[in-house]
């Protein structure tokens, strides 16, 4: 999504009561652990925007931990 000066100033579509639909995405990776972590992103539309950074950080950290743990198949 691109933002313009109206959005930054607070007089864009959201300020006038218009809403934008949140994109729907099936995030199946084939790895159950990763899919469970990514499922947290489905909660974002219901969270206040002030909590998005925390949610993204949590998902990032969990994905990094899962990557570090590996599955031992290397």
- The set of residues, in sequence order, having a beta carbon less than 8 Å from that of 65 and lying 6+ positions away, is none
> Per residue in 29-65, pLDDT tens?
899 999 999 999 888 888 999 999 999 999 999 999 9
What is the model's pTM?
0.61
∠ CA 67-69-45, rounded to 5°: 45
Taking residues 19-34, what's their average pLDDT? Answer: 77
Instruction: From residue 69, give the alpha-carbon distance in Å to each of 27, 30, 59, 63, 72.
Output: 21, 17, 15, 10, 8
Task: With beta carbons less than 8 A apart as the criterion, state whether 4 and 12 touch.
Answer: yes
Q: What pLDDT score was predicted for residue 5?
A: 52
SS3 27: coil
């Amino acid at each position: 999504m691109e933002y313009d000066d109206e959005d930054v100033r607070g007089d864009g579509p959201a300020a006038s009561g218009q809403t934008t639909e949140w994109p729907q995405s099936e995030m199946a990776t084939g790895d159950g652990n990763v899919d469970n972590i990514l499922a947290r992103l489905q909660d974002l539309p219901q969270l206040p925007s002030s909590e998005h950074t925390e949610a993204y950080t949590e998902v990032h950290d969990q994905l990094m931990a899962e990557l570090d743990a590996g599955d031992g198949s290397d």
